[in-house]
Amino acid sequence: MRSRAALSWFISLLFLLFLPHAFSSSRPQWILQRVPVVLPQQTDVRPAPHFLSPARLDVSSPCDPECHKKAPRLNYWDLRQTLAYETLHANGQLTETAIGIYGYNPNSDTSLAYSSGSSGKSERSHVRRKRQIFGHDGRFSIAGQNFLLKYPFSVAVKLSTGCSGTLVGDRHVLTAAHCVHDGKNYVKGAQKLRVGFLKPKHRDTQTSTFNVPSNFTNHVEGASYAPPVTDKMKFQWIRAKRTHVPKGWIKGNANDIGMDYDYALLELKKPHKRRHMKLGVSPPARRLPGQRVHFSGYDNDRPGQLVYRFCRAGEETPDLLYQHCDAQPGASGSGVYARMWDGRRRRWERKVIGVFSGHQWVEKQGASQEFNVAVRLTPLKYAQICYWIKGNFVDCREG
């Protein structure tokens, strides 16, 4: 019976491997677009942070999509203030950088049409248990070196503050701002922030005996599978050299604002030597393959395990993507990505299009509405993060 079940599983796997080719004529494609330029203008030293409060891994907001849509539009000067940023250095020094925006007309583009002010507070703010698993738990624990050390799962990392992150450069990790800053000050552990990479616990550890095709992970997302758990893994840590956080997050309290600027970029002290995932401007949800998004992170209820999930994207605002992907505290900061066809390079490619932020719930007329929320990479956010990574705007003009 066991061999028959294994054969059935293998046949299903082959079907999944070859299924995408049957629909190659209608493959969803990345559409490159010219993005604006976000350049630093002046940097000043700020008072040293306190690092007193622990990081909150279950950040939430009562501002729903309608709340965001009613918020006033940001003008050019508002955008400059929200995209200005602080940089926390490993020696504890803090700097603030003003920015200039070029090639961007806020009147003709709605990618940042709404602000993330605190106007969306719920009228009923009593404490309640927030649900982050919607119905059946659809998460998959990824195990075995054949999976954990292979792209795209290998780009997921763990932060020493308890969050997750995604490799987006040779030295750079994209994560959520609330993982290092609570909206008022930098959290405990942010100065000596470390990034953890899962690696084999022993050099002589045997790899999984189950042989998978070399291109298995190109098609595994969306499939139900159970890789063998035979390899013992541990985290190898690298210290962060710099941490960039946009002022759009810092200007308010993390529990009152709408998560629009809940993203941060870490620069490591040394290269991680792994393949990283490219950034992409977030397309409308209707253009995503199957309208699905994917992300992997280190959920607290499954310690030491990398947890992968995918789900259908729901409602969206210019800055946020709402979905019901099952997640628990610890997954915040994970890079939300999609896989589409790159017509220029003639290949399928995954790109990070957002950062998983957390949970939103609103009670209206006694009915509860709940979402898990990701911050979308708008053209301006793409331009800013890309500049943090590349150090120039020439390599950041197309997203």
pLDDT digits 0-9 by tens, 318-331: 899 988 888 888 99
| Domains delineated in the chain | 35-125+133-396 (2.40.10.10)
Backbone angles phi and psi of 272, in degrees to 5:
-90, -15
> What does the pLDDT read at residue 135?
61
> Catalytic: 256?
yes
Alpha-carbon 388 to chain mean position = 16
CB neighbours of residue 369 within 10 Å:
13
Closest CA to 371 of 306, 319, 324: 324
**202 DSSP assignment:** S
Active site residue 332: yes
Read off φ and ψ for residue 101, nearest 5 degrees.
Answer: -120, 130
The CA distance from 338 to 170, in Å, is: 21
Q: How far apart are CA 46 and CA 66, in angstroms?
A: 36
Active-site residue (options: 58, 256, 301, 342): 256
What's the confidence (pLDDT) of residue 152? 95
Catalytic-residue membership of 324: no
Query: Alpha helix locations (H) across the chain?
Result: 2-18, 65-70, 76-83, 145-148, 247-250, 379-390
Q: What is the pLDDT of residue 15?
A: 41
Catalytic residue among 332, 334, 357, 359: 332
Residue 18, CA distances (Å) to 6, 14, 213 in order: 19, 6, 12
Spans of the chain below 70 pLDDT: 1-25, 62, 105-136, 202-231, 252-258, 361-369
The end-to-end CA distance of the chain, in Å, is 51
Cβ contact 375:82 at 8 Å? no
Which one is catalytic: 68, 172, 178, 324? 178
CA dist 129 → 60, 206, 331 (Å): 11, 43, 18
Contact call for residues 246 and 84 (beta carbons, < 8 A)? yes
